[in-house]
Amino acid sequence: MLGVVVIASVVMMSADAGGSYMAPMRSALATVGYPFQIAASLPAQTVNYLERYFDRSELIAKNNRLKQKNLQLKGRLQQLASLESRNERLRSLLGSAASIDRHVQIAQILSSNPDPYRHRVKLNKGREDGVFVGQALIDAHGIVGQVVSVAPATSHAVLLTDPNHGIPVEINRTGQETIAKGTGRADTLKLPFLPSNADVKKGDLLVTSGLAGRYPAGYPVAHVTKVKHTPGREFLQVTAQPTASLGRGRAVLLVWNRNTSPSHAANSSPSQAAKSKADSSP
Amino acid sequence: MIQNDRVGIFWIAFSISLSLVITLMPLPTSIAAGRPLMYPATLLFWIMMQPTRFGVGVAWLGGLLLDVLFGTPLGEHGLALALAAYAVVRLRRILWTLAPLQQLALLLPIFAGYEFMLFWIDGVMGQSSAMWWRWVPVLTTAVIWPVWSALLERVALMEVR
């Protein structure tokens, strides 16, 4: 029995990693598991419901509308800090500042992965909304993560703090480029590649450098919380705290920008992207 | 001795469902990392106490369910749980003779082995997760095991009499 089970597990894991061969079995088991997921989310939902019950529905609707509007505005504003200092550095070279008027869309977080070693979330926007793999997610305070897989109506995103995630950043004060990696803790990033003589201080703001082409440049990522140099080591041990409220908010913004869009259609507008997709499909 | 009696399937299903719900319940990340392995512990308890009904196969299927709910590669938790169940099956006769705290001495390495299998498969699959707090659930499981197993046994005894 054990032998059979071990071999079956290994075969299934390789099949699962290689593609979608196990999808029928997955969906069958997911049906079994669905009631448990519902039951597990009941306590939190009940609290939410009770909170809302005592409010007036009109107030709620208005509040929600204002919150979304506020989030959108903050999303556009947050680049200013970085643009300001960049302007100072580059004014002589750069004739005009880059436009920060990027297209954004609000997405709700449907669920987050219960496995504490995978920082993933599921969003309620998908291919039909023009979402694409590699698209950046932000919230009111900074970068949240990026989209890793897209289904027709939903998508999955990986958060900055996932241990397998790295993001190219620059230190806003000096312009030093480096990479911030996730640690698996919700409030910590590490910067493992800063040489021991790098100019970095506690409190420094890290912003996206936009170098890898995935994230739009100039969005805040994290604040440096600790800088430690062990004599004899080539690199500093630097940790930083993400500025975005990871794992707390329910809404995030999807950003369409010129650097990251795979097709020209996608960066003009999501609805156009969806339309052109529909046109091209038979 | 509940291992000689057939405990009603309702209680078994209910306790396993309850442990699964506790496993899936959303918690703040800092607490979630130390969440005890309720679901494996409950499955292993019934595998230990109902030898004529449950074995490695049930543990494997239970693990597959966890894989789907967690979005891990299909078979990861299945394999880890099946191996843990195999160890419990082999040690079953010894475990029956021991007091709950003594049982823990044998079960703690099994829980640690379960967690190690997950860690190892994650590593092979390229999902790095070498973090010390990965082992915290083993300790919290050890803390709740005496209470939880005593409770399950009490309920089961009430029913078979």
Say which of A1, A29, A185 has its CB closest to residue B56: A1
For A8, name the nearest residue in chain B, comparing CA atoms only.
Answer: B75
Confidence at A79, pLDDT banded by 50, 70, 90: confident
Mean of per-residue pLDDT scores for chain A: 80
For B119, name the nearest residue in chain A, comparing CA atoms only.
Answer: A117
Least confident of A141-150, A218-227, A251-260, B67-76: A251-260
The residue behind tokens 């309620």 is A124
Domains identified in chain B, total number? 1
Whole-structure pTM value = 0.64
CA distance A26 to chain B (A): 6
B79 to A120: CB separation less than 8 angstroms, yes or no: no
Distance between CA atoms of B54 and B43, rounded to whole angstroms? Answer: 9
User: How many CB atoms are located within 10 Å of the residue A65 CB?
Assistant: 10
Chain A hits for B68, CB-CB cut-off 8 Å, are 26, 29-30, 33
pLDDT at B113 over 90: yes
Q: Which domain holds residue B98?
A: 2-160
Q: How far is CA A38 from CA A61, A111, A118, in A?
A: 25, 11, 21
Mean of per-residue pLDDT scores for chain B: 88
Q: Which domains can be identified in chain A, with CATH numbers?
A: 55-282 (2.40.10.340)
pLDDT at B155 over 70: yes
Chain A hits for B22, CB-CB cut-off 8 Å, are 40
**What pLDDT, on a 0 to 100 scale, did the predictor assign at position A277?**
39
Quick: pLDDT tens for B6-35. Answer: 788 888 999 999 999 998 887 777 788 888
Instruction: Report phi then psi at A156, rounded to 5.
Output: -110, 140
Say which of A13, A33, A185 has its CB closest to residue B75: A13
CA distance B96 to chain A (A): 22
Distance between CA atoms of B56 and B58, rounded to whole angstroms? Answer: 6
Mean pLDDT value across residues B69-95: 91
Closest CA to A160 of A107, A206, A93, A124: A206
The domain that holds B70 is classified in CATH as: 1.10.1760
